[in-house]
Amino acid sequence: MKTIRTHNLTRTFDETVAVDHLTLEVDEGEVFGLVGPDGAGKTTTMRLLTGIMTPSSGDAWVVDRHVVRESEAVKEEIGYMSQRFGLYSDLTVQENIDFYADIYSVPRKGRKEKVDELLAFSNLAPFRKRLAGNLSGGMKQKLGLVCSLIHTPKVLFLDEPTNGVDPVSRRDFWKILYQLLRQKVTIFVSTAYLDEAERCNRLGLIHQGRLLACGAPEEIKGLMKGTILELRPINPRETMNVLRNKFGRRAVSLFGDRVHVVADDPQQMKKSMTDVLHDAKIEPGEIRWIEPTLEDVFVSVLADKNQGAIQDGT
């Protein structure tokens, strides 16, 4: 069953195209990740799918309900956690949950059991009397998730839910999401963390409102052209600049203290890089072949799209 479907979904703001003819499908009970940098169109897509915003053109269905013509029915079936979820800092954890339970008209009968269950699996039970304003960033995200789940939605939309959260809290948050899959909840999550995207069943890479690629993480990695050579030089930024001057920006990327170089012929590229860096009096350190990360793939796919646009004259 396709829980989410879109066809040529488009949203413009004056001259800006925020979502550009987006067509995709999400299966029931899977985690689908919409991945892209800030400004790629992730939040606008979320708002279109949740009925908060009306598309300029195109269509979308969530749980077989049209997001425009049946927007109120859609809202009854979904949970939505925006980047700035509306927690009330002067209310306790328990009071925030009760507030959202009232908004969603959760029946009084069985409500306590539902709340206890959610607090237990989010590890918030010991903090039910703590003011939300006194929670850590990770705990606030967990509370936001609990409030989004209080009415037992079929689809959960999470807009960059772990943005700004420490790595340990991010890991704990994903553990909770995996537990939801046992209940066949469909999770549609946006993220700018490409390492986090590996946790999704399927991904959509989005840039400037356009879907560049869609598939399982391993399928996305299969789009990578060439082999990745990784260097760990003493001065990675200087090394990147030298290599870019020789091999071009498309082939060379900086990843923290590492430099990645895309090579069609890795043996020849390794020799060429060593010679170039030797002439620049830079010690390259160890050069090794590695499996491409999603970030490598995203950079590669984006470069190919940009190159195609230049050749087309657009």
**Could you identify the residue written with the tokens 């001259």?**
15
Assess whether pLDDT exceeds 80 at residue 54: yes
Residue 87 amino acid letter? L
Q: What is the pLDDT of residues 86-109, one digit of tens each?
A: 889 999 999 999 999 999 899 999
Q: What is the pLDDT of residues 37-52, one digit of tens each?
A: 888 999 999 999 999 9
Q: Domain extents for the chain?
A: 2-215, 227-312
How far is residue 137 CA from its own chain's centroid? 18
Scored b (16 or more CB within 10 A) or e, 119-151 reads: bebbebeebbeeebeebeebbbbbbbbbbbbbb
Assess whether pLDDT exceeds 90 at residue 65: yes
Residue 86, helix vs strand vs coil: coil
The C-alpha atoms of residue 55 and residue 176 are separated, in whole angstroms, by 32
The reported pLDDT for the residue numbered 44 is: 97
Q: What is the pLDDT of residues 24-37, one digit of tens each?
A: 999 999 999 999 88
Predicted TM-score (pTM) of the model is: 0.83
Residue 80 amino acid letter? Y
Assess whether pLDDT exceeds 50 at residue 309: no
Which H or E run includes 169? helix 167-181
The reported pLDDT for the residue numbered 249 is: 82
**How does residue 305 score in pLDDT terms, banded at 50, 70 and 90?**
low
**How does residue 158 score in pLDDT terms, banded at 50, 70 and 90?**
very high
The reported pLDDT for the residue numbered 314 is: 41
Lowest mean pLDDT, pick from 8-17, 89-98, 168-177, 296-305: 296-305
CATH number, span 227-312:
3.30.70
Assess whether pLDDT exceeds 90 at residue 288: yes
Percent with pLDDT over 70 in the chain: 96
**CATH 3.90.25.10: does it fit domain 2-215?**
no
Count, residues in the chain: 314
The reported pLDDT for the residue numbered 270 is: 93
Beta strands in 144-226 (DSSP E): 155-159, 186-191, 202-207, 210-215
Mean pLDDT confidence for 247-266: 89
Beta strands in 29-118 (DSSP E): 31-35, 57-62, 65-66, 78-81
Q: What is the pLDDT of residues 202-256, one digit of tens each?
A: 999 999 999 999 999 989 988 888 889 999 999 999 999 999 999 988 789 888 8
